[in-house]
Amino acid sequence: MRRRDFLKYTAPATILPTILNGFSVKAFGASSMLNALGSAAKDNDHVLVMIQLTGGNDGLNMVIPLDIYGRYQAARSNIAIPEGKVLRLDNYRKAGLHPAMKGVQQLYNEGKACIIQSVGYPSPNFSHFRATDIWLSGSDSNEVITSGWSGRYLETQYPDFPDNYPNADTPDPLAIQIGSIVSPAFQGSNASMGIAITSATDFYNLIDGVTDPAPNTKAGKELTYIRKIAQQANSYEKTIKSAAAKVTSQGAYPADNSLAAQLKIVARLVAGGLKTRLYMVTAGGFDTHASQTESGDTTKGGHAKLLGDVSDAIKAFMDDLKGLKSSRRVIGMTFSEFGRRIKSNYSMGTDHGAAAPMILFGDYVNQGVLGNSPALPEVTAVADNIPMQYDFRSIYASLLEQWFCVDQDVLQSILQKDYQRLPLVSGVACGLITGLPELVPEDKFLITNNPNPFTSATNITYVTGSGHTMIQIFDTMGRLVTVPVNKVHTPGTYTITFDAGYLPNGIYYARFQNGAVQQVRPMLKVN
């Protein structure tokens, strides 16, 4: 998306009075995910809270691989988290969390969190703006889509919005973002599908009926007039104030934590009965090229502070929702526009990379770690990236289907392709979810190659169940080299030849996918 178009499409139709305790708030009618139930959507009060970690989070220091700790430590000896300081996960010994993430560790050990390893997409883009655009639009890296993945769903459910909204059936805003701009995730095909409440200090000013005085100047008179028009246009102000007024006491949140302050507002609106389905909140500062850790103690530093704030905010949010008897309505999700390189740099930081883990949390999230520890080479080069195990659009598809109960035909039209679904949410959320086989044990090899290393060609053998099967070949930059298999198979063992004579020497990754099952196989081409 061009910046000019971005501004054009995301400019709010109406600038509304300030709302959120120092954060601007945007209300989007009927988000894609919001009403993702098809005809059953009206009966579903589920909420998804998306936490955007802007800047590109270093997932390898967030979820530390313990089963290949030696390779991890060798690749980033100046910033690696000491093995003895890694927070352990119940019944899982292959990975643990950064020492600052005790809140998320506790949620995981209580059965209320899931970690998805190495989430990305083929041929990643390392520009902050373009990579963010890809994640929010759900596009491939080589295509530009000016609508958001949520906005496309919105249009299928509310094609006439904003005409005649709000109404008796839909009195509340159906998506709310706390932040300074309207997210492209909620962009429709022609225009922004929502309205914006664009100030910061004023969530509590709004619900308390407080208005900052306008200066007695010509500009002040114009400001007073704009506020008057905005108040007249703010059709959702009454429902937001009504929901907030129903919650008079909340749990404790950490001070000086911007994300916690945002989530506290979300909890108040959810517990107050607002039927909003989708919330977007943000935490910035994750572009950690330098001084990611302290030289004397790698468990401390800038990245530790960021992860600690995120973890503490999530834990306080879930505790608050539990106390308010609203936690069963909510699933949360962290994401960042990209991860970081495997190898650290000489500035005690990490540079723009490819895949990274995501964290899901909530009462109905299936506890577990999906995927293997990232495939790390024995000797890591500066340009080496973590190979993708799961496409980020598979996470979207899974949540739409399993949390918002989206019909498969509608799901494919929203995401424009049929992405694999993963068992992320308990079946009680939308009834029994079929077609999701149990994940294969990580010590069972479904894809191998021989010889390995190889000089020009190697035979790839894979074991597949019934249904769609795909093999993708990536280089160490995450670029998609070829897709030798992409079809429906009958169960069995198959062998293909990968001819790499035209490719330079180096490491390549063969990614196998069959339904919810995936594995990644490193392959080495030599002289």
User: What is the mean pLDDT for each group of 10 consecutive residues in the chain (527 residues)?
Assistant: 37 38 47 40 76 97 98 97 98 97 98 97 96 95 90 76 79 77 72 49 62 72 58 68 93 96 94 90 95 95 98 98 97 98 96 97 95 92 94 95 88 90 88 54 83 96 91 94 94 95 94 90 93
What pLDDT does 251 receive?
Answer: 97
Please give the Cα distance from 342 to 375 (Å, whole number).
Answer: 10
Q: Output the pLDDT for position 75.
A: 97
Determine the Cα–Cα distance for residues 257 and 253; give it in Å rounded to an integer: 8
Q: What is the pLDDT of residue 38?
A: 38
3-state secondary structure of 524: strand
Enumerate domains of the chain plus CATH numbers: 3-435 (no CATH), 437-527 (2.60.40.1930)
- How many beta carbons lie within 10 A of that of residue 410, not counting itself? 17
Tokens standing for 478? 């995450």
pTM of the model: 0.86
343, exposed or middle or buried, with CB in 10 Å at 0-12, 13-18, 19+? buried
Whether omega for the bond prior to residue 166 falls within 30 degrees of 0, making it cis, is yes
